[in-house]
Amino acid sequence: MDILPILSTLRRHKLTAWLLVLEIALTCAIICNAVFLIGQRLQRMDMPSGVAEHELLQIQVANVVQPANPYARVQEDLAVLRQVPGVQSVAFTNQVPFGGSSSNGNVMLDPNQPQRTLNATTYFGENLVTTMGIQLVSGRDLQPDDFVDVETALKGLNSGDSKSLPHVTLITSTLAGRLWPGQDPLGRIIYLTPQVGLRVVGVLASLARPNAYDASKAQYTMVVPLHMGADKGESYVIRTRPQDRERVMRAALAALKKADPQRIVTTRRTFDEVRHRFFQDDRAMAGMLVGVIAALLIVTALGIVGLASFWVAQRRRTIGVRRALGATRSNILHYFQTENFVLATLGIALGMVLAYGINLFLMLHYELPRLPAIYFPVGAIALWLIGQLAVLGPALRAAAVPPVVATRSV
């Protein structure tokens, strides 16, 4: 197809042609970035938690009046829950992955270093690894005699008595790799304060933070052997078979209510619900971006249809002359298709530059990573396709113009 006549025609409609190119460029630039954002959100929603998600239940209860011995209360509750048919394992923890609010500590490698090395989430509670189905990569799990009551530990911290503090910890392999790259973490010591040194006795494959907003730090977690008393912030975690979850939840709540009718259940949910809730904003954002992409493509397509129809109507006579001089229908069809392709290509080229610019702006203001090159062809292909589809109707109408038009006056 000869491209020169097309260019010379476009030169006569410079302003209109440039507007179309600009529209295609803007659409292309927004679509590249929107698809990239959708990818980011989907990737985030896929973040591993490290626990057996389809087998876990979370229950939080609150006491109206604090029990006389909150530690004994927890042990009683755990015993009651273990008796519920279908319960495989039970634990009491201060937080769950993706649960939202979190308890964190500053990690140091040397008790005297002036700045913390990093901030990590500290999970407390016995039997967490077994109950949550966390995979132990090396070393051992926490043993009952590693555990200390929180209250005793806090008093020890204030009085400087290191005997009443915990001494060991489990950390994730990600955290180990960050603290001691390429080395065996087992037996090494991390400090939460200059007084609290914890020896690493086991390494976990994965365990996400409750507030895993930053994917690069989502696995900075450790398990510290501390017992907590009954309190409304803590959770009972129950492991059961996926098909038993609903029944076990009902039975467990009934058992807890029976043990103390004065209590209030504040949270009851499966871990699937925990994940669903944590990522709901990401899901909403991804949905909205899909909507914007669809709306942009539709508006651009309609714009192309409108302009092409105008041009076809305007050039009816010229088309008739060309047909009379021997141009076939497919010549005319190809003419309009090529014209659209040329405009789309110009728009896409400009759009790529714009897309890069928008990404730079987003990187500056929203802590987004650089737009990978793989996303550029996505926008390009989408616009070439939508352009060709949109121009097909008007082009077919142009091809249907009979040669006899040339002999009539306008």
Q: Is residue 22 involved in binding another protein (CB under 8 A)?
A: yes
Distance, in Å, from the CA atom of 272 to the CA atom of 240, rounded to the nearest integer, reads 13
Could you say whether residue 311 binds another protein (CB under 8 A)? yes
- For another protein, give the closer residue by CB, 38 or 203: 38
Q: Is 313 in the site for another protein (CB under 8 A)?
A: yes
Q: Give whichever of 149 and 244 is closer to another protein, judged by the CB atom.
A: 149
Closest separation in Å from C-beta 36 to another protein: 12
Give the residue from 81, 82, 88, 93 showing the smallest Cα distance to 258. Answer: 81
Q: Which CB atom, from 57 or from 150, has the smaller least distance to another protein? A: 150
Q: Is 247 in the site for another protein (CB under 8 A)?
A: no
User: Does 364 help bind another protein (rule: CB under 8 A)?
Assistant: no
Shortest distance, position 215 Cβ to another protein, whole Å: 15
Tell me how many residues contact another protein (CB under 8 A).
64
The residue count of the chain comes to 410
Q: Does 222 bind another protein (CB under 8 A)?
A: no
65's tokens: 């009046």
Q: Point out which span in 130-138, 198-206, 273-281, 380-388 binds another protein (CB under 8 A).
A: 273-281
Asked if 30 touches another protein (CB under 8 A), the answer is yes
Closest contact distance (angstroms) between CB of 137 and another protein is: 30
Residues 6 or more apart whose Cβ sits within 8 Å of residue 115 = none
Query: Is 119 a residue that touches another protein (CB under 8 A)?
Result: no
Distance CA 153, CA 146 (A): 12
Chosen residue from 4, 65, 364, 373 binding another protein by CB under 8 A:
65
- Integer CA distances (angstroms), 54 to 58, 95, 222, in order: 12, 18, 22
Query: Residue 193, interface with another protein (CB under 8 A)?
Result: yes
Compute the least distance from the CB of residue 19 to another protein, in Å: 4
Q: Min. distance of Cβ 266 from another protein in angstroms?
A: 7
Residues 370-409 that bind another protein (CB under 8 A): none
Identity of the residue, 16 or 328, whose beta carbon is nearer to another protein in the bound complex: 16
* Interface with another protein, residue 228, by CB under 8 A: yes
Q: Decide whether 106 or 143 has the Cβ nearer to another protein.
A: 106
Q: Restricting to residues 68-107, name those near another protein by CB under 8 A.
A: 70, 103, 106
Secondary structure of the chain as H, E, C letters: CCCHHHHHHHHHCHHHHHHHHHHHHHHHHHHHHHHHHHHHHHHHHCCCCCCCHHHEEEEEEECCCCCCCHHHHHHHHHHHHHCCCCCCEEEEECCCCCCCCCCEEEEECCCCCCCCCEEEEEEECCCHHHHHCCCEEEECCCCHHHCEEHHHHHHHHHHCCHHHCCCEEEEEHHHHHHHCCCCCCCCCEEECCCCCEEEEEEEECCCCCCCCCCHHHCCCEEEECEECCCCCCCEEEEECCHHHHHHHHHHHHHHHHHHCCCCEEEEEEEHHHHHHHHCHHHHHHHHHHHHHHHHHHHHHHHHHHHHHHHHHHHCHHHHHHHHHCCCCHHHHHHHHHHHHHHHHHHHHHHHHHHHHHHHHHHHHHHCCCCCCCCHHHHHHHHHHHHHHHHHHHHHHHHHCCCHHHHHCCC
User: Judged by CB, which is closer to another protein: 94, or 240?
Assistant: 94
Select the span of 24-32, 78-86, 321-329, 332-340 touching another protein (CB under 8 A): 24-32
Closer residue to another protein, CB minimum distance, 134 or 384: 384
Quick check: 254 binds another protein (CB under 8 A)? no
Residues that bind another protein (CB under 8 A): 15-16, 19-20, 22-23, 26-27, 30, 34, 37, 62-66, 70, 103, 106, 114-116, 150-151, 153-154, 157-158, 160, 193, 195, 228-233, 262, 264, 266, 277, 280-281, 284-285, 288-289, 292, 295-296, 299-300, 302-303, 306-307, 310-311, 313-314, 362, 365-366, 410
